[in-house]
Amino acid sequence: MSAATEILVPGTAGEGEALVLTAPISFWGGVDPKTGRIADVRHPQHGEVIAGKVLFLPGTIGSSSASAVLMELVHNGRAPAALVLHEPDAILLLGLIVAREMSWQTPIAVRLERDQFDSFRGGQVAVGADGSILRRLGILDGLP
Amino acid sequence: MSLALIPQEQAIAAGQDGAGMAMRIVAESARLLGAPRLIPIASTHIDGALYHGDSGTLFAERLVEGGAKVAVRSTLNVGALDLMGCSRIRLEEPQRGMARRMMEAYRKLGCEQSWTCAPYQAGHRPTLGSDVAWGESNAVVFCNSVLGARTNRYGDFLDIACAITGRAPDYGLHRPENRRARLIFDVSGLSPSFLASEIAWPVLGSLYGREVGNAIGVVTGVAGHPGEDALKAFGAAAASSGAVGLFHIAGVTPEAPDVATILAGPEPEAVIRVTPDMAAKARAGLSTAAAARTIDAVAIGSPHLSHAEFDGLERLIAGRRLAVPIYACTGRHALALLEKDGRRKRLEASGVVIVADTCVVVTPIMPDIGNGVLMTNSGKFAHYAPGNTGYAVLYASLADCVESAVLGRPVFTDVTA
C-alpha cells in the first residue's frame, strides 16, 4: 500500500508503527510533552505513546499552545517519526516550523485524505522526504 | 492563490537575524493558512511567554540573540511566575529558572510587562476595525467582539513573530466578510431576573461555546448593556467550551447595532432558542463536584479581576475572616490601585491570596492535596481547573463563593433561569 501526499512541512523522512487516532486531539493538555503519551483520559487512544510512531491525525482541537507542545516533543526527542494530517493545522505545525528555525531535526508532516488512514492502521509505515508514504509488509501483517 | 511577499518582506525573510526568523515563521504560517499576502498590524498581545518546556525559552532567547525587537505595541499574557511576589508558586528548579529566563527574554524583545489575560482592562484597547495579532482565547474574543478590532487566534510563537515583523497573514477574521453572524442565539426565553444575575453571563457563555463551536453567532434578547466584566466572563467561558473567536450581541457589541446589520444573509442558518432548562443544565455542567460537603478553596479572576470586581469582592467579604482561602488572580494594573489605598492588606488579612502576573490553572499555586474541591464564579476556571489542578469544581456566583469561603462549605442561592 502506498499513496501520494502533499508535503505540509518538509522534514526528516520517518518510519514507524502507524498510530491512527480515531478522534481529534488537543496537544496542550492532551499529550504529555515529556513522554509523548496521550494524557487526555477522554481520548480513545488514551495511554498510547506518539513518540516514534507515524501519527495519523483526523483533526486537532483546543488550545493555541499545541505548537509549544509539539516543539517540546521535538526538543525532547519524543516527536512522532512523521505526521500525517487530514488538513493543515497551522497552529500545530507551527511547532515544526519553529523547530526547523532552531535547526533541530524535525519529522516531516504530510497531508492525506482521512479516508485513506485505515489502510495504514496496524502497519509499519515509511514516509519519505519526498512525501511518499508506504506501508511495509512485515510482522504486524502476519508475514515474515 | 499562493502567498506573495512584497520585496521588503522578502528581504527581511532572507536575513540570518531574529527579524528574518520571525518573518519566515509568519510567511510559513500564511502559506499553510492559504493567505494571499501579509497585512500590517497595529498591536499584539502575546500568550507565548508562558513556560511549557525549555524549547520555548530557547526560541525566545534565540530571537533576543538575533537582535529582534517588537515593531508594534505588544502586551504580555500571564507567565508561570508571580513576579510581584504576592503569592508563592510551587514551580521547582530547573523549570522555575527556565520560566524566569523566558519571561526575561520577552521583556528584552520589547514587550510590555503587563502579564495579564485582561490587557483590554490594562489600557491596551485597539480601535474598532484595526488589524491586530492577539493570543490567549479570552483576550482574542474580547478584542474581536467587544472592541471590534480584528484578530485571529494567534498561537504560541506566531504571536511574537507577528510582533517583530508587524505583519500577520491576511485571512479569517481580518476579512470583514468572515465576521458576519450565521446563527442567532436567542436568550429572550430566560427570566429577566436570571439575565440580570451575575451567573447568567458565564453560564450562557459556556452554553454558547458548546452550541456554536467555531461559527459566528449573534445573541438576541438582551435588554441592555450588561457591563464590560459580564462580556469578559461570557467570552472567556465561550472560548473555553468552544473555539469561539468572535461573538456579537445585538444592540450591545459595536459591529451589531441590530440583528439585520450583522447577519451574513437575509436569514440565519440556524436559530438557537435558549430555554430555562438549557441554561440550568449548562450551569450544572460547570460543576464536577455537586455533592461536596466542604470546600478547600475559592478561585476567582479568570480572566483577571478588574478594579470593579475587587470592589465587589471587598463589599461581600465585609471585613469577615475566611475559613478557606480565596485565590484572587489579577494583573499588576489592578494591583497598583489596590496598593494605593491599603486595600490589598485588608483583603489579605481576611484570607484572600492575591495572585498577580499569573493564575492558579497555569502554574502550581494551590496545595496539591488530592480530591480537593474548588469553588469558582469563572466559567473558564470551571472548565480548566479539574484537568490542570486536580481539584473538583463547584460553580457559583461571587456572593455564594464568598459566603462559602467564610463557612468552609458550599452555599448556593437559587436563581431560576
Residue B32: its chain A contacts at CB < 8 A? 8-9, 88, 90, 93
Q: Are residues B35 and B151 in the same domain?
A: yes
Q: Are residues B74 and B131 in the same domain?
A: yes
Q: Are residues B161 and B40 in the same domain?
A: yes
Residue of chain B nearest A65, judged by CA positions? B156
Is B21 within 8 Å of A66 when comparing Cβ atoms?
Answer: no
Q: Are residues B259 and B318 in the same domain?
A: no
| Residue of B82, B81, B80, B72 lying closest to B41 (CA atoms) | B72
Is A75 within 8 Å of B58 when comparing Cβ atoms?
Answer: yes
Contact A99, A12 (CB under 8 A): no
Q: Are residues B57 and B188 in the same domain?
A: no
Residue B416 lies in a domain: no
Name the residue facing A33 among B21, B52, B62 (closest C-beta): B52
Kindly report whether the peptide bond that precedes residue A24 is cis, defined as omega within 30 degrees of 0: no
Taking the C-alpha atoms of residue B201 and residue B196, their distance in angstroms, rounded to an integer, is 9
Residue B351 lies in a domain: yes
Q: Are residues B185 and B170 in the same domain?
A: no
Domain coverage including residue A137: 2-141
**What does each of the 417 residues of chain B score in pLDDT, given as a tens digit?**
699 999 999 999 999 999 999 999 999 999 999 999 999 999 999 999 999 999 999 999 999 999 999 999 999 999 999 999 999 999 999 999 999 999 999 999 999 999 999 999 999 999 999 999 999 999 999 999 999 999 999 989 999 999 999 999 999 999 999 999 999 999 999 999 999 999 999 999 999 999 998 899 999 999 999 999 999 999 999 998 888 999 999 999 999 999 999 999 999 999 999 999 999 999 999 999 878 999 999 999 999 999 999 999 999 999 999 999 999 999 999 999 899 889 999 999 999 999 999 999 999 999 999 889 999 999 999 988 988 899 999 999 999 999 999 999 999 998 888
Domain of A129, CATH number, reads 3.50.30.10
Residue B184 lies in a domain: yes
Is B32 within 8 Å of A90 when comparing Cβ atoms?
Answer: yes
* Total domains in the fold of chain A: 1
Residue B415 lies in a domain: no
Residue B137: its chain A contacts at CB < 8 A? 63-64
Judged on CB neighbours under 10 Å (0-12, 13-18, 19+), B409 is middle
Strand partners, B218: B184, B248
Q: Are residues B275 and B400 in the same domain?
A: no
Residue B53 lies in a domain: yes
Q: Are residues B108 and B223 in the same domain?
A: no
Q: pLDDT > 90: what percent of chain B?
A: 92
Is A61 within 8 Å of B21 when comparing Cβ atoms?
Answer: no
- A83: part of which helix (H) or strand (E)? strand A82-85
Domain boundary at B174, B198, B220, which? B174
**Cβ of A39 under 8 Å from any chain B Cβ?**
no
Listed by number, the residues of chain B in 8-37 with a beta carbon closer than 8 Å to a beta carbon of chain A are: 21, 24-25, 28-29, 32-33
| pTM, full prediction | 0.94
Domain boundary at B255, B285, B315, which? B285
B56: helix, coil or strand? helix
Q: Are residues B25 and B41 in the same domain?
A: yes
Q: Are residues B252 and B155 in the same domain?
A: no
Name the residue facing A69 among B29, B52, B387 (closest C-beta): B52
Residue B290 lies in a domain: no
Q: pLDDT (tens digit, 9 = 90+) per residue, B143-169?
A: 999 999 999 999 899 999 999 999 999
- pLDDT confidence of A42, banded at 50, 70, 90? confident
Instruction: Give chain B's mean pLDDT.
Output: 96
Domain boundary at B148, B174, B200, which? B174
Q: pLDDT (tens digit, 9 = 90+) per residue, B65-94?
A: 999 999 999 999 999 999 999 999 999 999
Q: Are residues B73 and B151 in the same domain?
A: yes
Domain coverage including residue B217: 180-285
Cell of residue B161, nine digits:
513573530
Residue B291 lies in a domain: no
Judged on CB neighbours under 10 Å (0-12, 13-18, 19+), B285 is middle
Judged on CB neighbours under 10 Å (0-12, 13-18, 19+), A38 is buried
Å between B24 CA and nearest CA of chain A: 9
Based on its alpha-carbon atoms, the radius of gyration of chain A, rounded to whole angstroms, reads 14
**Cβ of B106 under 8 Å from any chain A Cβ?**
no
* Total domains in the fold of chain B: 3
Strand partners, A111: A6, A85
Which residues of A are known to be catalytic?
A: 63
